[in-house]
A and B are shown apart, each in its own frame.
Chain A
Amino acid sequence: MTVEQSPLAAFAHEGGDVRIAEIPFLTQLDLRLDPDGPAFPAVAKALGGELPTAPCTASRLGDVDALWLGPDEWLLLAEPGRQRELEVLLRAAIGEEHGAVVDVSAQRTALSLAGPAAREVLARGCSIDLDPRFAPAGTCVQTLLARTGVTIVVQEERFLLLVRASFAQYLAAWLVDSTDGAGR
């Protein structure tokens, strides 16, 4: 019997103005698709909304978050355990057209960063301006945070960080270090 263990099992940080927690085992599917091809509207119909085509944005489509990763690439996030169901749905929508759906759920884990000092903690290791005037909810950037490749999704009331499993412990430790003195 195998036991599922997330990269940051048992990790959590709650210090004053920042709350950091892992959101383990999210369903994560990488979707490659031509935005001008016939499968694009078919996928929109299947997901109940169009994939975001503006660079560095994310959209909520029903109960799936669609993150723009590139002009023909998206990352779909959903609750744990929905891999098969979504893969079948997307493959049916793509049909014989050119496209790919790959389960990459094990590649990254997710962290939620919330609290009044969350933005300041990120600013200590990230060059992206996350001021709400420039990065409102719905912004999704792939960048470096403390020299680690991350995807940052700006959501209402929190940041969602996606980090590769093998970098998760380092990043979590860096985040906790960086909360020191933040918000003061």
Chain B
Amino acid sequence: MQLIPCPWCGPREEAEFHYGGQAGVAYPENPAELDDEAWARYVFFRDNPKGPFAERWVHTAGCRRWFNAVRDTHTYRLMRVYR
């Protein structure tokens, strides 16, 4: 099983974690002013790169903290994790 390095607990099995999607998706500053298409883009549209991708992960079965990771979507290698 792949090990994911929790920035608090250290390397743990992948089964202890859950995925939280793309990192750094900012909440709209004026959500009431968004039209349907802009709102849909915020809610559903995400980058889908082949290569490094900044993601959110949570150490569900461990310290239960959310953290950020840069993962290569092609090799599954976690290049960096940070709090």
Mark A residues whose CB is within 8 Å of B: 55-56, 69-71, 127, 141-144, 149
Give 3 nearest A-B pairs by CB, closest first.
A70-B63, A55-B8, A142-B62
Task: Give the shortest distance, in Å, between A102 (CB) and chain B (any CB).
Answer: 15
Count of A-B contacts with CB under 8 A?
35
Please state if A149 and B9 are interface contacts (CB–CB under 8 Å): no
Please state if B64 and A70 are interface contacts (CB–CB under 8 Å): yes
**Cα–Cα distance between A55 and B9 once the two chains are bound (Å):** 6
Find the A residue at minimum CB distance from B12.
Answer: A143
Residues of chain B within 8 A of A149, CB atoms compared: 61
Residues of chain B within 8 A of A127, CB atoms compared: 1, 12-13
Interface size class on chain B is: 10 to 19
**Cα–Cα distance between A110 and B61 once the two chains are bound (Å):** 18
Please state if A71 and B61 are interface contacts (CB–CB under 8 Å): no
| B16 contacts partner chain A, Cβ-Cβ < 8 Å | yes
Please state if B9 and A141 are interface contacts (CB–CB under 8 Å): yes
Please state if A144 and B9 are interface contacts (CB–CB under 8 Å): no
| B65 contacts partner chain A, Cβ-Cβ < 8 Å | yes
**Cα–Cα distance between A116 and B34 once the two chains are bound (Å):** 64
- Given A55-B8, A55-B9, A143:B16 Cβ within 8 A: yes
Residues of chain B within 8 A of A143, CB atoms compared: 12, 16, 61-62
- B17-70 CB contacts (< 8 Å) to partner A: 61-65
| B15 contacts partner chain A, Cβ-Cβ < 8 Å | yes
**Cα–Cα distance between A141 and B16 once the two chains are bound (Å):** 12
**Cα–Cα distance between A69 and B13 once the two chains are bound (Å):** 18
Task: Give the shortest distance, in Å, between B27 (CB) and chain A (any CB).
Answer: 23
Task: Give the shortest distance, in Å, between B70 (CB) and chain A (any CB).
Answer: 21
Residues of chain B within 8 A of A55, CB atoms compared: 8-10, 63
Residues of chain A within 8 A of B13, CB atoms compared: 127, 144
Please state if B65 and A142 are interface contacts (CB–CB under 8 Å): no
Please state if A70 and B61 are interface contacts (CB–CB under 8 Å): no
Given A55-B63, A56-B8, 16 extra CB contacts under 8 A: A55-B8, A55-B9, A56-B9, A70-B63, A70-B64, A70-B65, A127-B1, A141-B62, A142-B9, A142-B63, A143-B12, A143-B62, A144-B13, A144-B16, A144-B61, A149-B61
Find the A residue at minimum CB distance from B8.
Answer: A55
Residues of chain B within 8 A of A70, CB atoms compared: 8, 63-65
Residues of chain A within 8 A of B63, CB atoms compared: 55, 69-71, 142
